[in-house]
């Protein structure tokens, strides 16, 4: 199965002259279904960057299954704020003849723009072979929060192979480049994941950290277990965690965000209207 979905946002005048984010493009293609939504989980307080639009991705079918090629394009226009979430975890399944499934995500965040991307975990079923490729281009003063979570195997199952390839640039300059292989090869060694079944990270790029003095920027913080918050050059921080299950992974990543402080500390989920 091949599919390409796209979401684009722009800044438009809202009530009282305050700019709000308008969705200027929304294209779904089965199984990648996009729709506007309300806040799903505790988000950072991005209100100072603008009134956000919220879009959620729903998988209209099981998978990705080996052989599937999915593509998601995200364009955050100047000054707009997009919170992109996902309805449920993706279950990565093997296809015929051991074919690879791929998900390619292309993201651009224009000047003054903000993207908070909170996808649900990739759950690697036995025998799967999946490549998740993410390419992000940030404008000079764009802000980004991006989460990645992988769970190796369902309950009691040995997970298949997952590769996460991430390239993030700010103004064309490399900010974070990581190719993480899990489930096979180096993934099982004591340097990558060893016996951990849930591996994840959150990247936060805040243009304010570029400008601030060294002491106001994020500092290295050891979290519980095998998890750490580390400052990256160019005003960014990476929360990296290896845990035994997805619940503790999510908790650990949230504690990392809490360690970064406002505005990145997740706020409680607003009650339903």
Partner 1 sequence: MTARAALLLFADGRLPAGGYAHSGGLEESVRTGRVRDAQSLESFLEGRARTVGLVLAAFAARSCRAARDPDPLPELEVLDAELDARTPSPAQRETSRQLGRQLHRLLTGMAHHPLLERLPRAPHQPLVLGAACGLYGLRPLDAALAALHESVTGPAVAAVRLMSIDPFRTHAALARIAPSLDRLAERALEHCDGSPHDMPAAAAPLLDVVAEVHATRSERLFAS
Q: Does residue 212 sit in helix, strand or coil?
A: coil
Asked if 201 is part of the footprint of partner 1 (rule: CB under 8 A), the reply reads yes
Beta bridge partners of 218: none
Cα–Cα distances in angstroms (integers) from residue 201 to residues 11, 69, 175, 227, 264, in the given order: 29, 24, 15, 9, 14
Residue from 12, 23, 26, 192 touching partner 1 (CB under 8 A): that is 192
Q: Does 243 bind partner 1 (CB under 8 A)?
A: no
Size of the site for partner 1 (CB under 8 A): 38
212-241: contacts with partner 1 (CB under 8 A): 220, 222, 226-228, 230-233, 238, 240
190 binds partner 1 (CB under 8 A): yes
- Cβ atoms of 72 and 87 closer than 8 Å: no
Does 131 contact partner 1 by CB under 8 A?
no
Contacting residue, 179, 216, 245, 262, with partner 1 by CB under 8 A: 179
- CA atoms of 232 and 27, how far apart (whole Å): 34
Among 30, 61, 87, 177, binds partner 1 (CB under 8 A): 177
Cβ(122)–Cβ(89) below 8 Å: yes
The verdict on 189 binding partner 1 (CB under 8 A) reads yes
Please say whether the beta carbons of 101 and 133 come within 8 A. no
Dist. CA 90–CA 112, nearest whole Å:
31
Instruction: Rule CB under 8 A: say whether 139 interacts with partner 1.
Output: no
Least distance in Å: CB of 168 to partner 1? Answer: 8
Contact 79, 9 (CB under 8 A): no
Q: Which of 2, 38, 154, 173 binds partner 1 (CB under 8 A)?
A: 173
DSSP 234: T
18 to 37, contacts with partner 1 by CB under 8 A? none
Residues that bind partner 1 (CB under 8 A): 165-169, 173-181, 185-186, 188-194, 196, 199, 201, 220, 222, 226-228, 230-233, 238, 240, 242
């Amino acid at each position: 199965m091949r599919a390409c979905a796209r979401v684009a946002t722009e800044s438009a005048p809202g009530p009282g002259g305050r700019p709000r984010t308008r969705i200027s493009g929304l294209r779904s293609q089965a199984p990648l279904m996009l729709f506007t939504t309300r806040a799903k989980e505790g988000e950072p307080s991005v209100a100072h960057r603008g009134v956000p639009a919220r879009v959620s991705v729903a998988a209209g079918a099981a998978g990705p299954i080996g052989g599937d090629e999915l593509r998601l394009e995200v364009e955050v226009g100047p000054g707009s704020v997009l919170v992109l979430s996902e309805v449920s975890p993706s279950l990565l399944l093997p296809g015929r003849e051991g074919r690879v499934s791929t998900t390619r995500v292309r993201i651009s965040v224009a000047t003054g723009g903000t993207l908070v991307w909170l996808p649900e975990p990739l759950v690697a079923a036995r025998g799967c072979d999946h490549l998740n490729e993410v390419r992000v281009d940030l404008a000079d003063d764009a802000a980004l929060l991006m989460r990645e979570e992988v769970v190796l195997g369902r309950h009691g199952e040995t997970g298949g192979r997952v590769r996460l390839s991430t390239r993030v640039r700010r103004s064309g300059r490399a900010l974070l480049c990581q190719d993480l292989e899990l489930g096979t090869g180096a993934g099982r060694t004591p340097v990558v994941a060893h016996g951990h079944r849930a591996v994840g990270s959150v990247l936060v790029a805040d243009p304010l950290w570029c400008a601030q003095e060294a002491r106001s920027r994020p500092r290295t913080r050891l979290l519980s277990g095998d998890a750490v918050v580390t400052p990256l050059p160019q005003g960014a921080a990476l929360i990296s965690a290896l845990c035994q299950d997805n619940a503790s992974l999510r908790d650990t990543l949230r504690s990392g965000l809490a360690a970064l402080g406002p505005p990145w500390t997740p706020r409680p989920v607003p009650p339903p209207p």
